Amino acid sequence: MEQSTAIQQASNVKNKAATKSAALQEPRIIRYTLTFIALAFLAFFIVLPLVTIFITAFQKGVDVYFAAITHPDALAAIKLTLIVVVIAVPLNAIFGVMAAWSLTKFNFKGKNLLLTIVDLPFAVSPVIAGLVFILLFGSQGLFGDWLFANDIKIVFALPGIVLATIFVTLPFVARELIPLMQTQGTSEEEASISLGASGFKTFWYVTLPNIKWGLFYGLILCNARAIGEFGAVSVVSGHIRGMTNTMPLHIEILYNEYQFSAAFAVASLMSVMAIFTLVVKDIIAWKSKSS
Amino acid sequence: MSSLIMPKKSRRIIPGFHLSLGYTMLYVSLLVLLPLSMIFIHTMSLSWSAFIDIITEPRAVASYKISFSTALIAGLLNVIFGTVIAWVLVRYQFPFKRIIDGLVDLPFALPTAVAGIALTSLYAPNGWIGQFFDFKIAFTPLGIIIALTFIGLPFVVRTVQPVLQNISAEVEEASASLGANRLQTFRRVILPELLPAILTGFSLAFARALGEYGSVVFIAGNMPMKTEITPLIIMTKLEQYDYAGATAIAVVMLVTSFLLLLTINLIQWLANRRFVH
């Protein structure tokens, strides 16, 4: 007991010495100035915009707020956004696992090229991401005549919105899993296989538990972007109210019609989702650190 | 072990090579390569002189200047403030630190259109912040810079933060015990370690800002020659069914971002060689 308190005291002295040392710590005035600059910047760029959204949303009262978010066009936009997310996110999650498996468990020629291609959608402007699908499936596009002859609509309809969203969010899960699986190596899988487990069993019982938090993290980021994608979806949607308007496009229309309270009401729903994303992200980061 | 005994077979022990690689290749071919190749195939339908005419239109050239300069300034602002924020979050203690740390990622999670309308209403002439300024912020290039700074902030903070966390105290102690003052230690010891991360963060923020659309269209005012960004030119041409024109401008954007990534990778490689080894 006495010994431990002695050690504690010694370490306290040491800590005090460290904090006092002018050579290891900035002068107090600089510490306070830097903290002030950082917090002021975050207040102006992050906190105030967030506060504005909620205040403007409720400016004209709770009735207007609920009228805005239960308007048939708003509900149609919410439904369309959910449909798009439910298709796009799982597809990109399966792709992310497949891509990470092939890129981290094996060596082959052209690996770096494939890595670059997987990253490519991040380097492309969302507007261009939409444009490419117009060029493929639009009336003047590569498959335009064929689609018209067979009466299939891709652009200015749900399939186009889903395709554009898949393109924009394609790298998220893969980007999260590749570095993680790289550091984990292949020895555990090799052991499982050589003990007689099947490939799928090995993936399910050995790999998946190791990567679950990374996978979840990638899913959350992919989901947030898929819900909020604006540029790419705006190009391929055609803005048909109640039909091909996702939530961000609905916000744009309301805003351009000067229905600010309604626009911010729908925006506040999306902000709640964004805050929820941040909270879940934090929990995942904490869980993965502790496990 | 296994690689020592049977180097060739170790690769084959784990199943699923053909399945996973085949699936990956098919997926990226259909959803990334084929769509993107359409940009170049479609441009082929234009003659060289027609292509040059479209991409050197005064309105297009003005948009390159606006997009490039605002993205550059926003990137530099992010370097300065992003590094300060990362520093403060790693080194200092203050209340609500964990919540504030989490809030840095908001630009990643908040839809760009929502960010766009929120920033516009704040910085508009009658907005909470805009009313305190004699000059206009929203609907000028300043507004574009603000939107792009918002979008790019997490890139710099999140690349610098882990590097700063991993700098061992011993290095700084050594520097101090050799007689360096705090500023010298920062300039000569800490900053060189941070520089590659700062560069990465800058390049990610800059590349994202060049292509950004959602947050900018609301705050920019979109006046041709003055506050019209390049992605908006593509959008306008598409609305007029001028697919050839939209595609030509898209080629300029794609080639620019490709060259940019190449340059940045080169700079980073040089920086790593100089500072790490």
Tokens of A257: 């019609």
For residue B24, pLDDT over 80 is answered with: yes
CB pairs under 8 A between A and B: 287
Would you state the pLDDT for residue A98?
A: 96
Token pair listed for B111: 């839809």
State which residues of chain A have pLDDT below 70: 1-23
DSSP per-residue string spanning A197-222: --HHHHIIIIIHHHHHHHHHHHHHHH
Residue B36 touches chain A, beta carbons under 8 Å: yes
ipTM: 0.88
Nearest CA in chain B to A92: B27
Chain A residue numbers with beta carbons less than 8 Å from the beta carbon of B208 are 122
Alpha carbon distances (Å) from B214 to A126, A235, A248, A255, B151: 9, 11, 9, 13, 10
What is the SS3 string spanning A44-61? HHHHHHHHHHHHHHHCCC
pLDDT of residue B12: 61
Q: d(Cα B213, Cα A287) in Å, to the nearest integer?
A: 35
**B70 closest CA partner among B188, B213, B206, B175:** B206
Distances (CA, A) of A257 to A251, A253, A266, A271, B168: 10, 6, 14, 21, 55
Mean per-residue pLDDT of chain B? 89
Report the half-sphere exposure of A57 (CA within 13 A, side-chain side).
24
d(CA B241, CA B219): 25
Element containing residue B259 per DSSP (H, E): helix B243-275
Q: How far is A33 from chain B (nearest CA, A)?
A: 10
How near does any CA of chain B get to the CA of A125, in Å? 4
Predicted TM-score (pTM) of this structure: 0.89
Token readout for A91 is: 């597809």
Percent of chain B with pLDDT over 90: 65
Longest alpha-carbon distance in chain A: 89
DSSP states of B99-166 as a string? HHHHHTTHHHHS-HHHHHHHHHHHHSTTSTTGGG-SS--TTSHHHHHHHHHHHHHHHHHHHHHHHHHH
Residue by residue, DSSP assigns A111-176 as: HHHHHHHHHHHHHS-HHHHHHHHHHHHSTTSTTHHHHHHTT---TTSHHHHHHHHHHHHTHHHHHH
In angstroms, the separation between the Cα of residue B34 and the nearest Cα of chain A is 9
CA distance A172 to A215: 10
Q: In angstroms, rounded to a whole number, what is the distance separating the alpha carbons of residues B78 and B151?
A: 10
CA distance A108 to A110: 6
For B:100-159, CB contacts with A below 8 A are 100, 102-115, 117-119, 121-122, 128-129, 146, 149-150, 153
Query: Of the candidates B28, B109, B121, which has its C-beta nearest A224's C-beta?
Result: B109
Nearest residue, CB atoms, B121 vs list A21, A56, A125? A56
CB contact under 8 A, A274 and B109: yes
pLDDT for res A21? 58
B221 in contact with A at a CB cutoff of 8 Å? no
Say whether pLDDT at B9 is over 80.
no
Question: Which tokens hold the place of A224?
Answer: 């947030």
Whether residue B243 and residue A260 make contact (CB cut-off 8 A), yes or no, is no
Q: Sign of the CA dihedral B210, B216, B219, B225?
A: positive
* pLDDT at A135 (0 to 100): 93
Nearest beta carbon to residue B106 from set A98, A264, A274: A274
Question: Quick one: pLDDT at residue A22?
Answer: 58
- Contact list, B207 vs chain A (CB under 8 Å): 122-123
| Cβ distance of B254 and A124 shorter than 8 Å | yes
To the nearest whole Å, the CA of A98 is away from the closest chain B CA by 5
pLDDT tens-digit readout, B46-87 = 899 999 999 999 999 999 999 999 999 999 999 999 999 999
Contact check, Cβ <8 Å, A248/B28: no
Closest residue by Cα to residue B81 from B174, B8, B153, B169: B153
CA distance A44 to A48: 6
Section B183-197 average pLDDT: 88
* Minimum distance, in Å, between the CA of residue B102 and any CA atom of chain A: 7
Per cent of chain B over pLDDT 70 is 93
Cβ–Cβ under 8 Å, residues B147 and B219: yes
